[in-house]
Amino acid sequence: MTRIGLDETANAARETPFARLSRMHVAHRETFLFENLSIQTGGAVSVRLPDLERKFLDERRGGYCFEHNTLFAAALADAGFAPVTLLGRVRRGPPERWCRTHMVLKVRGAGVKGTAVQRAGVQSAAGPDDECWLADVGFGGLGLLEPIPLRDGASSLQGGIEYTLRRDGHLWVLSMRDAGGDAMPGTSRSRIISRRRTPNRCSAAR
């Protein structure tokens, strides 16, 4: 928390769970860079927490989605949340290239350990701090600045980009458009997929 400029003891007691989740999400995005230099140079990439802590905290580097969201999930767990890791496909180019190469997080907003829902999309009707949220600190420049509610039709305007989440069978589709309603150039959508329900292979998304 110190590395991303947050003092949990000063704020946690007086803010809502979602406010804390959002603040942590924004702080992570503002602190750590998205970079894949290790991959490009043939270096080893580890998603073990001690290795990520050394790379991000001690060496003050960044990483790619699996590194970012693994580290963020650990921080959320320490703060009392119960994150669940999901895999996604970035829908760019022909369908045969829509591989499960991205990682995101589903977060229960209640901020209580052990309350992670077991099925993507199941949520409480009790209010915004009891529902599930999609968090993703590892997509780079066009990624979410703040979490978005994990519910069909949820939308959020962040940094001039409108993010909309739609349910498509057992999948979720996150689309990005600019403030004028036009699709972002060079991008389309990310399909968010639970790794427990989908075979781990690269194939065209249905």
**Cα 146 to Cα 105, 156, 195, distances in angstroms:** 12, 9, 23
Could you confirm whether 102 is annotated as catalytic? yes
Could you confirm whether 170 is annotated as catalytic? no
Neighbour-count burial of 204, counting CB atoms closer than 10 A to its CB (0-12 exposed, 13-18 middle, 19+ buried): exposed
Q: Tokens representing 171? A: 């999948």
Catalytic residue among 25, 28, 102, 132: 102
Catalytic residue among 28, 65, 68, 132: 65
Catalytic residue among 136, 168, 170, 182: 136
Instruction: Give the alpha-carbon dihedral of 74, 6, 113, 52, to 10 degrees.
Output: 0
Closest listed residue to residue 178, CA positions, set 166, 164, 190: 164
3-state DSSP assignment of residue 113:
coil
Could you confirm whether 136 is annotated as catalytic? yes
Distance of CA 4 to the CA centre of its chain: 17
Which residues are annotated as catalytic? 65, 102, 136
